[in-house]
Amino acid sequence: MTVSTGMSGRSANAAATRRTRRKRDPHGTREAILEAARQQLAQDGKEGVSVAQVAQRAGVNRGTAYQHFQTREQLIEATAAWVSDKLYRAVFGDPSVARAQPVESISIEATTESLAEFAMENPEVGRVWLFEVLSSRRPANDPFWQQYVSNLERFAKTKLAQPGIDAEVVSVLMLAGALLWPVWARAHTRTAKERQQMAKRFTREVLRLCLHGTLRPDKYADLDQLLAQGNGQARPSLI
């Protein structure tokens, strides 16, 4: 009887171990794969990405990775969407709330600062997003881009804005600057505090440019006139 009980106990322990091993976390596994793919994209670009390599980097069984993403194209597309969502939520918050928010209630300072701080702490995310947008045939389909330029277009129609703003051009300038600034700034910083100071430098200068520009119109009457003439011209859309 004693031997039988011991064998029964060992069998129960073995069964419990097998149940533990069979426990799965599909969402956590998918997140790990996408994070590894983000790192791989930032390091080597699209040509350096394969499902097998990303699985190894994520510490995930290759077969499991293929269950989530059957092809490298699916993996790259999902990673780009994941990166865009990370940017979106960092800058605008919950999409369901952000889309319905009146443009007059959006804080330009808070939006600019959130983008600058996120880009400074997550340079690889910004690098992947820029790479994907630049290489995409339809960059205007990106959700983060859509929200950013939509906010600026709506703002341009209010009495708060200068007349004649080209929302698409301004959006490209602002986003490219915000996501490229960390590439230079992080080479000159070593601590989180220094990176935060760099983010604030960028935010302050962007706000100054938005509020005042860099030239005094009364000193550059010819440029002022040129821009005034161009305000009425038709603009081809990026969409």
Whether residues 42 and 97 share a domain: the answer is: no
pLDDT in tens, 166-190: 999 999 999 999 999 998 888 888 8
Whether residues 90 and 12 share a domain: the answer is: no
Q: Is the pLDDT higher at 13 or at 23? A: 23
CA 184 to each of CA 77, 173, 189: distance values in angstroms, whole numbers, following the listed order: 28, 17, 9
Whether residues 196 and 95 share a domain: the answer is: yes
pTM metric for this prediction: 0.78
Side chain identity, residue 8? S
Whether residues 160 and 124 share a domain: the answer is: yes
Closest CA to 80 of 137, 129, 143: 129
Distance of alpha carbon 28 from the chain centroid = 20
pLDDT in tens, 46-95: 888 999 999 999 999 999 999 999 999 999 999 999 999 999 999 999 99
Q: What is the CATH number of the domain that holds 105?
A: 1.10.357
Whether residues 23 and 62 share a domain: the answer is: yes
Please provide residue 77's backbone torsions phi and psi, each rounded to the nearest 5 degrees.
-65, -45
The structural domain count of the chain equals: 2
Domain residue limits at 61: 1-70
